[in-house]
Structure 1
Amino acid sequence: MAPPTRGRPRSFDRDAALDKALRLFWRQGYEATSISDLTGELGIGAPSLYAAFGDKKQLFDETVTAYGARYGGFAARALAEEPTARAAVARTLREAAIEYTIPGQPGGCMVISAGINTTNAEVAARLERMRNANVDAFEQRIRADMAAGTLPAQTNAAALARYVGTVMQGMSQSARDGADRAELLTVAELALRAWDEPAAGG
């Protein structure tokens, strides 16, 4: 029997391996994903994993960055491209319903779900910062619309932005729990009705 090889396979595709690791963390979360899980998923030995990506934490950090670039940027695009905060929120929630339920892809949002129950303070803090950054971006856009007169001056920008973030987190968990696209699109429309209620300005 030939001795096991210690290096990476000659056909090793780092980008494809990164995507496999990303999806594994997305499905299982940071805490529940072991080095053994990762090497099994990527089809390489532990030394090769460390050589290519560093330790588990370094690999996770890289997958989070890749997730934002490949899968999670729809809210930022909506905020950049839509003419109003309301239009950006509508697009974001509708696209969330679609993105969170793509067949063959883990359900929900990796940034929302991957840090659940983790004991790694750095991982938890990074994901928390990313979630809050999204809320802050919505708040800034809402405040810009208030300044432009598109939204009433008495609008509670912080609460309204947090509402959007809360709905997205709920949609993400619901997708992981088996909610289908049609259900989440209905949730998005109900959330938009709440946005349009006069109470949104309270």
Structure 2
Amino acid sequence: MSPGRGRGRPRAFDRDQALDTALQVFWRLGYEGASISDLTQAMSISPTSLYAAFGSKSGLYREALERYGSGEGACSVGPLRPDGSVHDAVSAVLRECAVRFVDPAHPPGCMISTAVLACAEENDAVADHLAELRRRAMAAFVARVDKGKVTGELSAATDCLAIARFYGAIIQGMSVQAKDGAGADELALVAEMAIGAWDDVCARAMAAGSV
């Protein structure tokens, strides 16, 4: 081997592009539904190349989830925008999800919020990882709502977790309905109804926090 020449054969594919393709396959078929054959055919690589680049199917899935969370998934699982009122921040997320969940440029729904809710025992580690991602998203939601206490938008007694869980459940439900064929107008109506319930939701959360 000549000096300066790297060992082994260089990868004959663009790793980032392959990861983007795998993300779409996982999003469309789910973790268990996406076979190695589905993935390698879509990525135009061999199983050997997949394992060499990503370690395993679960390793590839984790990287795809990370990529999703920093891109398309940011509307539903990322931190709410810090500026403006809590009401405006929650409203913006709901409205954005209503649009993104049915965007024809990618599979419907959210890749994380309703993914791997039940699975075979051998995939428990994957399910646990997704549950942790959802817990982090909920923690970010709670933290943003809690800022409303500082600004005076919400009473100090408000149960911020209750508000976050309510709107988180709305987002998850919108994701499921998008997968089942709901259209943009239908999801937009759900979002607007949930936004319209803000005052009542906050009042109930304040009452719950005062107990």
Question: Does the 8 Å CA contact 2:149/2:156 hold for their aligned counterparts?
Answer: yes
Amino acid at match of 1:167: I
Cross-structure match for 1:187: 190
Q: Is 1:87–2:92 an aligned residue pair? A: no
Question: Does the 8 Å CA contact 2:78/2:140 hold for their aligned counterparts?
Answer: no
CA displacement at 1:117 relative to structure 2:
2.8
Amino acid at match of 1:199: R
Number of residue pairs aligned between Structure 1 and Structure 2? 195
CA displacement at 1:8 relative to structure 2:
8.0
Q: Is 1:98–2:99 an aligned residue pair? A: yes
What secondary structure is seen at the aligned counterpart in 2 of 1:192? Answer: helix
Matches within 5 A, 1:140-159: 140-159=143-162
Question: Does the 8 Å CA contact 2:69/2:77 hold for their aligned counterparts?
Answer: no
Amino acid at match of 2:105: G
Q: Give the unaligned 5+ runs of structure 1.
A: 1-6
Question: Does the 8 Å CA contact 2:97/2:171 hold for their aligned counterparts?
Answer: yes
Cross-structure match for 2:30: 29
- Residue deviations 1:142-177 (CA, integer Å, cap 9, x gap): 222123311123322111110011001000011100
Q: Distance in 1 between matches of 2:176 and 2:62?
A: 22
Amino acid at match of 1:127: L
Aligned residue among 158, 171, 176 for 2:174? 171
* % identical equivalent positions: 42
Of the structure 1 ranges 176-185 and 189-198, higher mean CA displacement relative to structure 2 is found in 189-198
Q: Is 1:201–2:206 an aligned residue pair? A: yes
TM-score normalised to the size of structure 2?
0.85
Question: Does the 8 Å CA contact 1:78/1:91 hold for their aligned counterparts?
Answer: no
Q: Is 1:125–2:128 an aligned residue pair? A: yes
What secondary structure is seen at the aligned counterpart in 2 of 1:110? Answer: coil
What secondary structure is seen at the aligned counterpart in 1 of 2:191? Answer: helix
Q: Distance in 2 between matches of 1:28 and 1:200?
A: 37
What secondary structure is seen at the aligned counterpart in 1 of 2:113? Answer: helix
CA displacement at 1:201 relative to structure 2:
3.0
Cross-structure match for 1:18: 19
Question: Does the 8 Å CA contact 1:94/1:185 hold for their aligned counterparts?
Answer: yes
RMSD (CA atoms) = 1.9
Q: Distance in 1 between matches of 2:103 and 2:97?
A: 10
CA displacement at 1:180 relative to structure 2:
0.8
Cross-structure match for 1:47: 48
Q: Give the unaligned 5+ runs of structure 2.
A: 1-8
Question: Does the 8 Å CA contact 2:82/2:144 hold for their aligned counterparts?
Answer: no
